[in-house]
Amino acid sequence: MLAGNKRFAANRLTSVAHDLAILKAKTVHKQEPFAAVLSCADSRVPVELVFDQTIGQIFVARVAGNIATPEIVASLEYGVAVLGVKVLLVLGHTSCGAVTAAMTLADPPGQIRVLYHRLQPAVERSRGVLRKAIEINAGLQADLLRSSSTVIRDAIQAGQLKVAAGVYDLSTGRVRLGRARS
């Protein structure tokens, strides 16, 4: 994945050269992604492009703030247990609106507030530094996946899965991984 990210950041994508008709035909009846990514719903974070991958290679779950809600955990468990992904990455990104809002909006409108309680631990540990809050949040969500899911925990213990956290820099296109843990 990191090699693909280097190609993306250097504007040297190889995935676009693949014949989409063939890829679509090969994935009509099955998918065999090698990785799963929990990403923010932000439209500036096109996961497959960021890692220079194409149809069927990455199983992506997206939600504002890249938080591990029960529905997201269940989706990622499917990726691990049924699809056999080998890598699970929680991907935060610079200038994250959800984290920024959790740091600044006291009374968010509508249902947005349900995101906040999941982002607050990172906000509190960051001491008001957005960059740190984004990085801490990705790490905390990865830790939550490791600890809250027996499917993910069992796959890690069996040596079948690696779980990591990283941050995508919108200005450079680069992904920087956090401290390694599995």
- The contacts of residue 122 (CB under 8 Å, 6+ apart) are 99, 133, 134, 136, 137, 140
- pLDDT confidence of residue 41: 96
List b or e across 105-115, with b for residues whose CB sees 16 or more CB atoms inside 10 angstroms: eeeeeeeeeeb
Q: Is the pLDDT of residue 15 over 90?
A: no
What letter represents residue 20's amino acid? L
Distances from the Cα of 110 to the Cαs of 97, 124, 166, in angstroms?
Answer: 16, 23, 29
- Ranges assigned E (strand) in the chain: 35-39, 58-62, 87-93, 162-168, 175-177
Is the pTM for the entire model greater than 0.85?
yes
Q: What is the mean pLDDT of the chain?
A: 93
List b or e across 55-65, with b for residues whose CB sees 16 or more CB atoms inside 10 angstroms: bbbbbbbbbbb
pLDDT confidence tier of residue 181, bands split at 50, 70 and 90: low
Domains and CATH numbers, the chain: 2-177 (3.40.1050.10)
Of 106 and 71, the one with more pLDDT = 71
Q: Considering the chain, what percentage of its residues have pLDDT values greater than 90?
A: 76
pLDDT in tens, 18-43: 777 777 888 888 899 999 999 999 99
Q: What is the CA radius of gyration of the chain?
A: 16
pLDDT in tens, 131-164: 999 999 999 999 999 999 999 999 999 999 999 9
Mean predicted confidence (pLDDT) in 46-72: 96
- pLDDT confidence of residue 182: 53
Query: Phi and psi (nearest 5°) for 89?
Result: -115, 130
